[in-house]
Structure 1
Amino acid sequence: MRRKRIIFLLGSILVLFFLLTGRLMQIQLFQTESFSSHNINLIENSVEQRTQQLVIDEGRGVIVDRNGEELTHYTKNVLILFPFLKNVEWDIEKVADIIGVPTYTLASTLENAKKPIVFGEKKPVELTEDQMNRINDLKIQGVFALSRKYPLKEKLAQQFIGLIGENEKVFQKRYPDKVKGTKQKIGITGIQKTFDEWLIAEQPSKLIYHVDAIGGPLFGVDVKYLAPANPFYPLNVKTTIDGKIQGKMEEILEKREVNKGGALLLDINSGEIVASVSKPDVNVRSPFSDNGSTNYMYTELIPGSVFKTVITAAAIEKEFVNEERKFQCDQDIYGNPSDRPLGNINIKDSFAASCNRTFADLAKEMVEKDKDIIEQYAAKLGLTGDLSWSGDLFHYSDFKHFQADTGRIFKNEEEKDDQNYVSQTAIGQREVRVTPLAVANMMATIARGGEKLSIKAVDSVEYANGTEMFTFDKQTLEGEKISPYTAMKLQQYLHEVVHGKVGTAKALHSAALEVAGKTGTAETGKFKDDNQEKQLLNKWFAGYFPFDNPKYALVVVNMDVQEYEGGVYPMFLDIVNAIASLED
């Protein structure tokens, strides 16, 4: 009996020994970079425990504008000091003399330092190239003059560029072969997310030295600089954004007190997004707590009378109308007296004055002949569908620059059989939903004479030395398009809106560059104020300029405003004039 107990005890100890040995092998040999279900990087954590380090560059790729200017970070030449300097003799006088500060200032900065510091801390002193070279020539361990990257506090095109953050689970799912980088930041929205695979850091650049339990140097004062060995990385994503125009547009929307809405500018020749502003701004402390993270330029909205452009295109091309025909614009879409009587006028003046009755009548006539005609012409104008540049790229079979809503005209087929529904659809109400991006694209399509282009958000991806890894060429958007004649007539009508006798946008006649475009006012809901029911509106203006030699298509929208507030003409005018000034 006693012998059995001893054998059992020895056997248990042996089993325990093998279990512990297996666990140690798992920790030390097999799962050093992805331990447990949480994929903990044991090597990385152990290094962190016995080192002090200062990150110079996280290693994530850079997002730049079309001129190569950084949109997310800036670089500054700074002086870096390690805390062990306060316990050793070093040439503090020479360093202080080079940067032009008293010796005691450097000494006092180090006095309470427990980690590597950037001299000046909250407002680092910026060094010249000459100062950097002179400091580094001294070859003092623990003293470095380096170029360090800092995130911009005021970022341009926040929703367009997108957000980054740490998310271990998403990182592991997205990059299962890069488990060791679990603490790296990944793209969550916008360009940061779409191009994350090219922006993800390979390895950060940092200064590092080993310390003991109380923070003292473990192997002397030998500080090492660790950086990626590959000179071609990290990659740069070169967007189509023009930083100067973007900055001006953001200033203008701020000045005009746009709380919800935005503006988007397209390059007509290339189909590139030149500037994109969405309000409200991103709440940096809590980006997903409100609508700040939403890019309203990619979001389906009620367009109002901007949509009459589609009805006009279909009516002209299918010969439902000519300029001899008159419409009863003293009546609303239901045949009742109009709040804004305009008399009997033709299609040209109806478009300029935005007569609802004209387009309701035309839409009913056309849908009776062809139920799908409105949807067909919305697509022909590039107002609906997937507008993003797309194509095969590396292991992606259908890579896209962005994800935007595709728009809709009718909610279901039954609505096309109801004349009231069709009438409301014709004036951009009921179930019509389109994105500001698509509205700008429609204007660009008309300005180009009917040619449809895919929209680009990125021009190219570049290596760190500036050479191109790959570039995105101009791309034709598939599908049917309007005829050159229809495009020409639409150009004339859009011009009349601003420059005609009955045009609704005469306020833009004084713009520095000649504008053509269309107004839109859409009812979005009601609210009570002082026991009175009031209407909320989306106010739009979309157009292109200069009229004789079109270069830009621009859309502005002010969302959920009341009738006598939030006008969009001053905003559109300011943007056109700012662009004219920048390009003068």
Structure 2
Amino acid sequence: MQRKRVILFVSVMMVILSILIVRLAQIQLFETKHFTNRDINLISQSVAQRSKEIAIDAERGNLLDRDGKQLTVAYKTVLILFPFLKDIEWDVSSVAEILKVDNSQLRQKVQAIKDPIVYGEREPFILSNEQMEEINQLEIPGVFAVRKSYPIYERPAEQLLGIANRDFLLTKRYPNKHLSNITRLGATGMEKSFDELLSGEGETKLIYHVDGKGRPLFGSNVKYVHPANPFYPLNIRTTLDFEWQQLMEMLVDKNEVTKGGMVLIDIEDNSVVAMVSRPKVNPVNPFAHGEEGTNNFMVQNQVLGSIFKTVIAAAAIDYGLDAKSRMFDCNRSINGEIDENYQYGMLNFKDSFAKSCNYTFATVGKELMSIEPLVVDSYANKLGLSIKVGWQGDFYHLKGFQQLADEEQGQVFSDPRNRKDTNLIALTSIGQLDVRSTPLAVANMMATIARGGEKQMVRVASQLEYKNGTKVKSFQSKKIVGKNIKPYTAISLQKLLLEVVNHDLGTGRQLQNLPYQVAGKSGTGETGKKVNGQQLENKWFAGYFPYDNPRYALVTVRLDAKSTDPSPLSLFADIVKEIHRLDHST
């Protein structure tokens, strides 16, 4: 009996010992860098227990405006203090004198800390270059004046530039990079699109080793640790103009656009100069349920309404359905019945476009579809409304790279069977039913027409740069593959768009007396949403200017607006006036 007990005890101990050995091997040999489903790096954690450190550069690349201004990361010259200062004699009076603070204030701060800190209360104490040099010349262990990186949280074009946040799944996304657990990854916008290019090779930090009680293990020696490659991380030069972007955001808010925004394209190089999306990002919890601030509505599909009549007009011109002598009864609705709300009388095609007569375009749309079932799809493609228009292609070492990874592709008919129903064709022809496109694509359509019909990809970034500012590679302007509208068609559309503004009946006549002559198209898209029984609409104006020498394509849009809300024409007018002022300022 005694022998059996001994055998049982030994067996149990062997099992326990085996489990411990397996666990030890798991920790020490097999899963040292990816322990548990939380992907814990045990090596880095053990080093962290034996060291005190402070990161001075998170080594994530910056997004810059077109003149090189930093948009996502700012560098501030600050004072770093290490906790071991409380245990050594150091020249506190000289440091205090340089900072112009009391000695006691500085001593008290050091006595209270357990980890390295940036000197200052809620905000860091910013040093001048002279102060930085004077402090570092003192060569006091544990006192360092350095340039430290800080993410810019209140940034312009916040939805376009996007958000980068901490992610513990770093090693899964980038298994070959040595990144710390505070490294930020792109979650939205350009931060997400360019994440692989913006991610650096590791942090720059100040570090020293401690014993079990937190005292310096090797004296007061602090090491400066930084990635081996001084050219990284890479920066992205965007096409945004910081000053213009700030001004556009101010104008959008002044016009009380609560949902919607604007897109401004430089027609010459087809680049976004400014883009605003509202509502703003919630700074406390941007990804909270129900928050729309992280959505960039300028690259998401919206109901177009009469903006889409530009597509029908292009096809009508090519198919000869726009004869000057042809008259349309614009007292009627799209189903041919008398329209009790709108009585425009008999209008020809040009006046119908200026006044945005639904009956004309429903009629012409049905005629076009009877001639060629795919004609509307074809012209939507030619004008870039049913495709992604953001820059894409092979770049650097990336295949099929997209500058706007969040951009949505437009559509005309969601169900092919709808092409056979004349009532549904009529709705489609005035931009309702399934028709969707992005404000960016609408702005690009205006740039395409102003340019004479050639489609180009829209750039939001112009080049990739090394950390020191040297260019690595440019994002060259690229045409969009596929058929374009004919130059004659583009010229005819230009004249129609001008009539929208210049005609006494034009829906854009409010823009007649601006310092730049504008051509464009209005639109009201029924969203199908209601608030308190009231139909919500998307209210648009899209155009380009100056008419005789086109330089800018602009879209302004109010999304989910009530019928009583202002049109976007006032915002469009304000932007044109300010751009004229900026163009002529000395």
Structure 1 residue 12, shift from structure 2 partner: 6.9
Q: Distance in 2 between matches of 1:118 and 1:181?
A: 20
More displaced stretch, 267-276 vs 106-115: 106-115
Measured in 1, the distance between the counterparts of 2:46 and 2:348 equals 79
Shift of 1:172: 3.7
Q: Show the counterpart of 1:274.
A: 273
How far 1:505 moved relative to its partner? 1.2
1:313 maps to amino acid:
A
Deviates more, 1:501-510 or 1:545-554: 501-510
The CA deviation at 1:494 is 0.9
CA displacement at 1:406 relative to structure 2: 1.2
Contact 1:184 1:201 in 2 (8 A): no
1:105: which partner in 2? 105
Gaps of 5+ in 2: none
Per-residue displacement from partner, 1:429-485 (whole Å, max 9, x unpaired)? 122111111111110100100011012222122111111222210101011111111
Work out the CA distance in 2 between the residues paired with 1:475 and 1:83. 55
- Retained in 2: the 8 A contact 1:78–1:148? yes
8 Å contact 2:334–2:358 — kept in the other structure?
yes
1:429 aligns with 2:428: no
Distance, in Å, in 2 between the alignment partners of 1:38 and 1:100 is: 46
Q: 1:494 to 1:417 in 2, by over 3 A?
A: same
Task: Report the CA distance between 1:325 and its aligned residue.
Answer: 1.7
Alpha-carbon deviations, 1:538-568, whole Å to 9, x = none? Answer: 1000011121211111111101111121321
Using the size of structure 2 for normalisation, the TM-score is 0.93
- Is the Cα contact below 8 Å between 2:200 and 2:234 reproduced in 1? no
Question: Residue in 1 aligned with 2:368?
Answer: 366
| Correspondence for 1:495 | 498
- Does the 8 Å CA contact 1:258/1:566 hold for their aligned counterparts? no
Q: Percent identity?
A: 46
TM-score (norm 1): 0.94
Matches within 5 A, 1:556-567: 556-567=556-567
Give the residue type in structure 2 aligned to 1:268.
I
Aligned to 1:231: 230
- What amino acid is aligned across from residue 98 of structure 2 in structure 1? I
Alignment of 1:496-535 (within 5 A): 496-525=499-528, 527=530, 529=532, 533-535=533-535
Cα-to-partner distance string for 1:302-321 (whole Å, 9 max, x where unaligned): 11111110111100012122
Q: 1:75 to 1:396 in 2, by over 3 A?
A: closer
Is the contact between residue 171 and residue 179 of structure 2 (CA under 8 Å) also seen in structure 1? Answer: no
Contact 2:538 2:560 in 1 (8 A): yes
Structure 2 CA distance, aligned partners of 1:121 and 1:80?
13
Q: Aligned AA for 2:306?
A: S
Q: What is the aligned partner in structure 2 of residue 461 from structure 1?
A: 464
Aligned length: 580
Secondary structure of the structure 2 residue equivalent to 1:377:
helix
Deviations 1:471-520 (A, max 9, x none): 21010101111111110111111111112222111222233322111101
CA-CA distance at 1:362 after TM superposition: 0.9
Q: Residue in 2 aligned with 1:287? A: 286
8 Å CA contact 2:178, 2:202 repeated in 1: no
Distance 1:117 1:400 in 2: 40
The answer to which of 133-142 and 410-419 deviates more is 410-419
3-state SS of 2:227 partner: coil
Cα distance, 1:179 vs. partner?
7.2
String of CA shifts for 1:328-349, please: whole Å, max 9, x gaps.
Answer: 1222222233322222222111
User: Hey, what's the Cα distance between the residues in 1 that align with 2:474 and 2:255?
Assistant: 37
Q: Distance in 1 between matches of 2:277 and 2:67?
A: 22
Segment drifting more, 51-60 vs 7-16: 7-16
Are positions 1:444 and 2:447 aligned together? yes
Give the RMSD, CA atoms, in angstroms. 2.2
Q: Does the 8 Å contact 1:306/1:518 carry over to 2?
A: yes
Q: Secondary structure at the match of 1:397?
A: strand
Q: Which residue of 1 aligns with 2:246?
A: 247
In the alignment, structure 1 segments of 5+ residues that lack a partner are none
Whether contact under 8 Å (1:33, 1:179) holds in the other structure is: no
Aligned-pair distance for 1:112? 1.8
* 1:159-174 equivalence runs, <5 A: 159-169=159-169, 171-174=170-173
* Larger CA deviation: 69-78 vs 411-420: 411-420
Matched, 1:470 2:469: no
SS of aligned partner of 2:214:
coil
Partner of 2:148: 148
The alignment partner of 1:220 has SS state of strand
Q: 1:52 is matched with which residue? A: 52
Distance, in Å, in 1 between the alignment partners of 2:337 and 2:228 is 76
